[in-house]
Amino acid sequence: MTTASKTPLWKQEDAVPFLQIKNVTKKFDDFTAVDNVSLDIYKEELFCLLGGSGSGKSTLLRMLAGFEEPTSGSILIDGVDMAGIEPWNRPVNMMFQSYALFPHLTVFDNIAFGLKREGMKRDEVKTRVNEMLEMVQMGEYGKRKPNQLSGGQRQRVALARALVKRPKLLLLDEPLGALDKKLREETQFELMNIQDELGVTFVVVTHDQEEAMTLATRIGVMNHGEVVQVDEPHDVYEYPNSRFVADFIGSVNMFEGRVTEDLPDSVKVESKEAGCTLYVNHGINCAPNQKVSVAIRPEKIKISRNKPDQIVNCIKGKIEDMAYMGSLSVYRIILESGKEIRITQPNFQRDMGARLTWEENVYMYWDVDSAVVLTA
């Protein structure tokens, strides 16, 4: 994570990217696994490639590592074109999903392996390995064997092993996939700390949107081999650039409609599904009468039994289903058009959930700033 006080590199006009991916395509026979991807990634980043299974994430990562050659396009690391450069000659290390620790070696020797093979002096190896063990909070475990560790501990050893040679770029393919939820969250914060301390550039592949949201400086969303949006987590969530991204990241309600008025920073959309004209404060270029979707997140919709003062973006419906989930309640509501929408509300009062019930008619409303208009 970057400190909030300074402008991140990717927002600085003259910043030089550390990793440049230029029009990279990878074909397997006539199947295109990675489709004309261009990306600039900067030194201080923990960049997440996020996408569903088969979207081309691992293939892209393997090309960065040098295990696959692009069919076309180029990859530059620190200004150097990687074409024809073998994996072991790249300033890169890759950590695989299966950690592949040597079972017969201790934790210490697992981490020391690569350094010893390079002929590094004993004392230096010891210092470096111990440094790494401390960093991943495994200082006490140097003498254990991998089978005497938990899954999370093994993952941290693998991370230490990947970092000990001080690569400039560390590639992680679904690194936390094998961990349970709680451990995964802890390890996520650890990864962010390590990134901060070492200044290594991370590219992390994940299919888990929550993980990407937590970890990433920026997210590249992949679909069918293409990178369809690159933005900071907040912007990917709040300003998705397509129906695909809006739907893939978090959950969303979408109203189909037609633009009736397009002003410089707001749009009016007539929507039969919503049963009214929706007002959206969002500077997007669309043409009058253009077919668009208005996307609104479930947590941004307010719900009440009584008619609110607000007139615009206010719709009526009937509670079809509701679920009390402790910190929040989830409502499934059917509009007069038959359209079904989903609302989540924090339970900020103890009896909130008990107030509204099944089959009840309710008003739903939201701010003009809360929705986005999607044209793609």
- Assess 175 for contact with ligand ADP (CB under 6 A): no
DSSP 252: -
- Assess 271 for contact with Mg ion (CB under 5 A): no
- Assess 55 for contact with ligand ADP (CB under 6 A): yes
For residue 95, the minimal CB distance to Mg ion (Å) is 13
Per-residue tokens: 197:
């301390």
- Assess 206 for contact with ligand ADP (CB under 6 A): no
- Assess 59 for contact with ligand ADP (CB under 6 A): yes
Which of ligand ADP, Mg ion, none binds 346 (CB below 5-8 Å, type-dependent)?
Answer: none
Q: Please state, in angstroms and rounded to a whole number, the distance separating the CA atoms of residues 4 and 40.
A: 21
- Assess 58 for contact with Mg ion (CB under 5 A): yes
Q: How far from 103 is each of 109, 144, 150, CA to CA, in Å?
A: 11, 10, 14
Distance in Å from the first CA to the final CA of the chain: 31
- Assess 345 for contact with ligand ADP (CB under 6 A): no
Among 313, 32, 302, 48, smallest CA distance to 176 is for 48
- Assess 345 for contact with Mg ion (CB under 5 A): no
- Assess 206 for contact with Mg ion (CB under 5 A): no
Looking at beta carbons only, is 52 or 139 nearer to ligand ADP? 52
The residue range among 48-56, 93-101, 152-160, 176-184 that interacts with ligand ADP, by the rule CB under 6 A, is 48-56
Q: Please state, in angstroms and rounded to a whole number, the distance separating the CA atoms of residues 222 and 39.
A: 12
Q: Please state, in angstroms and rounded to a whole number, the distance separating the CA atoms of residues 338 and 245.
A: 25
For residue 32, the minimal CB distance to ligand ADP (Å) is 9
- Assess 53 for contact with ligand ADP (CB under 6 A): yes
- Assess 59 for contact with Mg ion (CB under 5 A): no
In the sheet with 31-41, reading across from the earlier edge strand, the strands are: 31-41, 19-28, 72-77, 80-81
Q: Please state, in angstroms and rounded to a whole number, the distance separating the CA atoms of residues 184 and 178.
A: 9
Looking at beta carbons only, is 206 or 271 nearer to ligand ADP? 206
- Assess 54 for contact with ligand ADP (CB under 6 A): yes
The residue range among 6-14, 27-35, 188-196, 236-244 that interacts with ligand ADP, by the rule CB under 6 A, is 27-35
For residue 174, the minimal CB distance to Mg ion (Å) is 6
Which of Mg ion, ligand ADP, none binds 348 (CB below 5-8 Å, type-dependent)?
Answer: none
Q: Are strands 201-206 and 46-51 parallel, antiparallel or unpaired?
A: parallel
Residue 295 contacts by C-beta under 8 Å, 6 or more apart in sequence?
240, 243, 246, 252, 253, 254, 255, 371, 372, 373, 374
By the criterion CB under 5 A, which residues form the site for Mg ion? 58
By the criterion CB under 6 A, which residues form the site for ligand ADP? 28, 31, 33, 51, 53-59
